[in-house]
Amino acid sequence: MAQNVQDLPRELFSGIDRSGSVPLYSQVAQRLEQAIADGTLPAGSRLENEIALGDQLGLSRPTIRRAIQELVDKGLLVRRRGVGTQVVHGPVTRGVELTSLFEDLASSGRTPRTTILDADVRPADDAEADALGVTVGSPVLHLRRLRFADGVPLAVLDNLLPEPFLDLDRAELATDGLYSLLRARGVTMRVAKQRIGARAATPRESELLDLPPGAALLTLARTAFDDSGRAIEFGQHCYRPDLYSFEVTVVDR
């Protein structure tokens, strides 16, 4: 019987750049992802096996495997031992990434704007010191901002930052995202631990977000860590749920 295997057009993989700085597995993953997005690899179709793919591209099997694994983690492909690799049926969604709200908005074509409500340096109380992993009483920057998208109030952002960041520029905070300011200081965010919940808005929040009193809010509490594993930021954000939600793709390995 004829195989249900997709013969990928050669052109799709002709442009592999071995000298550039983009890893080969990453280039392969990108090409596969695009082939899925534009329908070259339709939902449910089977890929050729890993060794054959490697031969066609002049790459080793581990390199191909890593490319495929990347798309499995994104929820685009499914692998079964003894069977093969298939494109997942159903709609394709974008996952949560380690970005800031500001960047999320900008990259989805909306216009973000920020108003600074508060920016104080105060000694850390027990809970704050615990969240940031600093000693009680050490100075921390309390930041409270209101974020707009296309002129509509979207979220109230409360952030705590430890010692090295007490002097963040208020003017820059109004125009750039917090994360881009931190990157400009050479800080690389690596891990964030987030808790997503919901609660009723306080009167103040209702007013700021232009919502009826006691309206439902989507909440995010996040601790972000840098390269060296130090806590860089503790944030407590609340969003207008009619304008914002989170997408997560979960994969069983």
Binding site for DNA (CB under 7 A): 21, 23-26, 47-52, 58-63, 65-66, 79-85
Chain centre distance of CA 52: 33
Per-residue contact flags (x/-) with a copy of itself for residues 181 to 210, judged by CB under 8 A: -------xxxxxxxxxxxxx----------
Q: How far is the CB of 35 from DNA (least distance, A)?
A: 15
Of the candidates 14, 18, 87, the residue with the CA atom closest to the CA atom of residue 48? 87
Q: Is 250 in the site for a copy of itself (CB under 8 A)?
A: yes
Beta pairing partners, 156? 146, 238
Per-position b or e across 169-182, b if 16+ CB within 10 A of its CB? eeeebeebbbbebb
Bridge partners for 231 per DSSP: 225
CB 202 within 8 A of CB 227: no
Q: Which of the choices a copy of itself, DNA, none does residue 121 contact, using the CB cut-off of 5 to 8 A by kind?
A: none
Q: Which does residue 230 bind out of DNA, a copy of itself, none, counting CB within 5 to 8 angstroms by kind?
A: a copy of itself
Toward DNA, which CB reaches closer, 13 or 234? Answer: 13
Q: Is 175 helix (H, G, I), strand (E, B) or coil?
A: helix
Output the CA torsion sign for 54, 60, 65, 67.
Answer: negative
Q: Is 218 in the site for a copy of itself (CB under 8 A)?
A: yes
Residue 8 β-bridge partners: none
**CB of residue 14 to a copy of itself, shortest distance in Å:** 27
Residue 20 near which of DNA, a copy of itself, none (CB within 5-8 Å, type-dependent): none
Q: Which does 231 bind (CB under 5 to 8 A by kind): a copy of itself, DNA, none?
A: a copy of itself
| Cα 149 from chain centre | 18
16 is a contact residue toward a copy of itself (CB under 8 A): no
Closest CA to 145 of 133, 158, 134: 158
| Number of other CB atoms surrounding residue 29 within 10 Å | 22
Contact partner, 251, from a copy of itself, DNA, none, Cβ < 5-8 Å per class: a copy of itself
Rg of the chain taking only CA atoms, in angstroms: 23
- Determine, following the binding rule CB under 8 A, whether residue 39 of this chain makes contact with a copy of itself: no
Dig out the tokens for 237 from the structure: 């954000």
Q: Does 246 bind a copy of itself (CB under 8 A)?
A: yes
Q: Choose, by CB under 8 A, the member of 30, 49, 104, 241 that binds a copy of itself.
A: 241
Nearer residue to a copy of itself within complex by CB, 15 or 20: 20
What residues line the site for a copy of itself (CB under 8 A)? Answer: 43-44, 75, 78, 80, 86-91, 93, 96-98, 130, 133, 188-200, 214-219, 223, 225, 227-231, 241-242, 244-252
